[in-house]
Amino acid sequence: MTKYCLTVACPTGRGIVAAIATYLSDNGCNITDSSQFDDAQTERFFMRVSFTSQEGVSLAALEEGFAQTAQAFAMTAKFHDEAERMKVVIMVSRFGHCLNDLLYRWRIGALPIDIVAVISNHMDYQKVVVNHDIPFYCIKVTKENKPEAEAEQMRIVRETGAELIVLARYMQVLSDEMCRAMSGRIINIHHSFLPSFKGANPYKQAYERGVKLIGATSHYVTADLDEGPIIEQDTIRVTHAQSPEDYVSLGRDVEAQVLARAIHAHIHRRVFQSGNKTVVFAASPGSYASERMG
C-alpha cells in the first residue's frame, strides 16, 4: 500500500475535518495519523493527514478529485507521496559540526533526504563531501562579487531541482532577492543569545555574563536577519564550573540537534507558516526510524 500525506491550510470553519475524512474514505484510503490546529488568533485552520491508499488510487487522481472540496473551504491543499525524498542543498562555511551531523543522519537514513549539492565559500569540507559522493561547489563571496556568487548558487539550486536550502552555519548574509526567491525554503541555525550577545565570540560573551542556559534556534530565512519564523529550539544547562570552550562545544551539540529536527519537520510537511509564526505538528509514528546503524 502506498503511503501519502495531505497538508491543508484554510480559514477556520465547521465541517473541515469531516469533509477530509469522508473524501479519503470514499476513495479507498485509510487514515493512519492526523494532526490539526485551529488558530483562534488568526482564524486559520491547519491540518496534516497521513494515510494509505488501500485500493490503488493514484496521487494525481486524489488531488484532482479533492479540488471541489478544497474550493468549498478555500483551502490551500497538497497531496504528497511519503516515499519521495526532498532534494536539499546544504550551504556551509568553516564550522562543520552541523554539516557532519547531517551527513551522518542522511547516511544511516535517519534524515530521508537527497543531498544534491553542498555549497561553501571555503574548501575546508570539500574532501568529506566528495567522499560521500555528493557534488561540492566552492563559491567565494565578497562584497564585490555577491550578486554573481548568489546567481551561481541559485543556478545550482535550479539545475539540481532542490526544494530546500539548509544553512548549516553558512556565515554569509543572503540578499533580500534570494530570500524572496526561496521564501519558506531556506532553513538557518544559530545560537539563541541574540540579541543580547552579537558579533564575534558570543559564547565567550555568555560565559563572561554567567549565562546558565545555552540554546539554539532554527528558523526560516527572511530578509529580516535572524528574525524569520522559528521552527525548532532547544537549550542545555551550563554552570559556573564550565569554561568558555565548554560553552562552545556544548553549543555545537545543541545547534546540530536543533537543525536536524527542524529539517525533519520540514521534509515531512509538518511545518505550516502562519504570519511570522509556525505551526509544527508532532512526528508521525516511525518517521524517526533509521534504515541502518552506523
**Please, are residues 14 and 41 in contact by the beta-carbon 8 Å criterion?**
no
Other beta carbons within 10 angstroms of residue 247's beta carbon come to 22
The active-site residue, picked from 38, 39, 226, 234, is: 226
> Given the DSSP bridges, would you call strands 213-220 and 86-92 parallel, antiparallel or unpaired?
unpaired
**Residue of 2, 9, 4 lying closest to 281 (CA atoms):** 9
**Please, are residues 93 and 168 in contact by the beta-carbon 8 Å criterion?**
no
Q: Express the helix, strand and coil content of the chain in percent, nearest 5 each.
A: 30, 30, 40
User: Rounded to an integer, what is the distance from CA 180 to the centroid of its chain?
Assistant: 17
Cell reading at 130: 566528495
Active site residue 33: no
**Please, are residues 202 and 192 in contact by the beta-carbon 8 Å criterion?**
no
Using alpha carbons, list the distances in angstroms from residue 71 to 15, 48, 67, 136, 235: 14, 18, 6, 44, 42
Sequence-distant (6+) residues with CB within 8 A of 56 are 2, 28
Other beta carbons within 10 angstroms of residue 277's beta carbon come to 13
State how far the Cα of 261 lies from the Cα of 105, in Å rounded to an integer.
11
**Please, are residues 253 and 236 in contact by the beta-carbon 8 Å criterion?**
yes
Q: In a 3-state reduction of DSSP, which class is residue 177?
A: helix
* Residues recognised as catalytic: 226
